[in-house]
Structure 1
Amino acid sequence: MLPEEPGQTVSVEIQDAVAIVTLDRPDAQNAFNTALRGDLSQAIRAVEENTAVRAVVLTGRGRNFSAGADLNDRDRKDPSVERMLNEEYTPMLLAIMRSAKPWVGAINGAAAGIGSSFALACDLSVMGESACLYQAFVAIGLIPDGGASWHLVRTLGFKRAFEMMIAGERISAERCLALGLTNRVVPDALLLDQGLALARQLAVKAPLAVARTKAAVRFSADHPIEAVMPFEARLQQACTDSEDFKEGVAAFRAKRAATFLGL
């Protein structure tokens, strides 16, 4: 495992073709302050630019994934929440969603407030059995942000999404699984291992096909079938023209494991 140094509040480790990005303010329950926002932005850029990385795990150190925004951020100079959301949080969240690499959330403890938005932005997620998603906004007179309403209404439908957000309840890992908000629930002690195992499964697959499948699914969330089908066809043509497709067919015929190079 090779460490990289994006900043003091976020750690990045590379294990084979998987990057592990860890929110690292455990004493503050990984609440987002100025430093964490800057360090996470730097970490996202680093793993996106690293061509050896084919999948990413996002997790939090300590008891909770993230308690949300740090309401006691002493380093914050600009009081504009709108600016902070638009210029700091939004680029990070969209970078995860639009990345060609799959991001796997390994959700430990509570993912609250903007922390829940990062959990929801990941393409896949594994939750520890004691983990939960917590839309804490209304309890302090705020609304969900960071795209939480977009994710929840598409997954749950209007009535369930609105109830979850307005009630401000903690949604347990098992209920998240039943509602389609996570892929797996595992014992807390096995969380990172299981998150890594899922990421490794993705990392050995054809990276161009994984990236284009992700693009197709994301596109489908916002477009009618008439737009989705030609979009799929365009992506399929690009896959068919790739060296990875030739390798996949050759490996299938030879009954061997394929070695995909992303070409």
Structure 2
Amino acid sequence: MSRPAVAIVGAGPGAPDLLTLRAARALEQAEVLVWTDSLVNPQIAALAPRHCERIRTSSLTLEEVIAVVVERAVAGRRVVRLHDGDPCLYGALAEQICRLADAGIPVEVVPGISAYQATAACLGAELTIPGLVQTIVLSRAGGRTGVPDTESLPRLAALRASLCLYLSARHVEEVQAELLRHYPADTPVAIGYRVSWPDQWLSLVPLSEMARVSLERNLIRTTLYVVSPALTPPQDARSRLYSASHRHLFRGGTPEDDQPAAMPSCGSDASEGAAASLSP
């Protein structure tokens, strides 16, 4: 009889109802829950059955976590390794899979909604606006972990894309200084703390205020920055895909008009209003 696969499951940004159906099913079937208790909402861990063994990992090393997972999986128990957000982002996923593969244990990875998606959704914002920005970059400040030279913040900021920075609040002053070399000072920045949790704090500020606001709020962890001109898009922004002039397999169109048509969208006033309603 083959061993049950270990499920490495993304808990999403925090709210239990932002779990995927597959993640919820894995939790409901768990016999052992190995969960990131410092970052995952306890309400999500509570979805596992009462008889499920629960092991918190906030005080454990990766080696200790893997030892627990391997022991329980070899014993034939269904193990769920529950991560915050999406385990494919900053979750030591590759290391865990490699070690479990060495032990001959199959792994299923269940993705989760990431904080940048929850933040954009909460703001009612699109991060890819036609004619303005079409690229989303997910990265982090160097810190103790460091980043490759080819992915340094100056290189990424030079793109002036929608830049989502994780694990960077402790370095916010140097991050802001570097970003100001490439983005205009009034570029909107969404600062999100524990987005989708009951104590969520989310505010839209100009780049020039990013560090000051973060320091005033004493934000040092579970904080995401989304830096993007798309957060205050121009009034005439419109997708070509839904334009009457755009022909494709399922809809005809007129070939004369290749320019995107104007469409009302959230301007700066609307964005400022949204930010005011999100800030305490």
Bin the TM-score by the shorter chain: under 0.3
Structure with larger Rg: 2
Which TM-score applies when normalising by structure 2?
0.24
Quick check: which one's helix share is greater?
1
